[in-house]
Structure 1
């Protein structure tokens, strides 16, 4: 089973080396990675400063994507969920 996965990955890498990586795909992946990274930083600083108020939002991929895409309203919505729904 592992041999098929490795063979598939090598075939994909070889194809991308010959054909080239589409520029648009790399642009979209780069922007997405940047937004998720910014979301992680927002969550880190929110948890750092929110600890004095008893607020904590777990840092995971789901929350990072929400905050990365929505920004400050994303943090506000996750905080509202944390306070009113979760407890």
Structure 2
């Protein structure tokens, strides 16, 4: 009978560990996705600034906010920042 309780406790511990891992994994996945989007957005901004400087256009400042906007929204985010750049400055 003691063996049954021991196996039951191990199974309960595994079940609790599984649910705790799922609780920790979801926010970690979101953080990794945000970091990845920021890196991609920064690379797109660097490429855009290189090309726009060749044509004499205004460049967009590269910082974490603009990188996340371009990384999250893509091309529409780049156009949004470009429109804001021409409207404000």
**Root mean square deviation of aligned Cα:** 1.6
- Which structure 2 residues correspond to residues 69-84 of structure 1 after superposition, within 5 A? 69-83=72-86
Partner of 1:68: 71
Does residue 27 in structure 1 map to residue 26 in structure 2?
Answer: no
4+ runs deviating over 3 angstroms: none
Does residue 42 in structure 1 map to residue 73 in structure 2?
Answer: no
**Residues 30-79 of structure 1: CA distance to partner in whole angstroms, max 9, x if unpaired?**
11111111000010000010102222000011111111110110001111
* Residues 34-43 or 20-29, more deviating: 20-29
Q: Structure 2-normalised TM-score?
A: 0.69
Q: In structure 1, what is the Cα distance between the partners aligned to 2:78 and 2:68?
A: 11
Q: In structure 1, what is the Cα distance between the partners aligned to 2:58 and 2:30?
A: 33
Partner of 1:22: helix, strand, or coil? helix
Structure 1: gaps (5+ residues): 1-18
Q: In structure 1, what is the Cα distance between the partners aligned to 2:64 and 2:36?
A: 13
Q: Structure 1-normalised TM-score?
A: 0.70
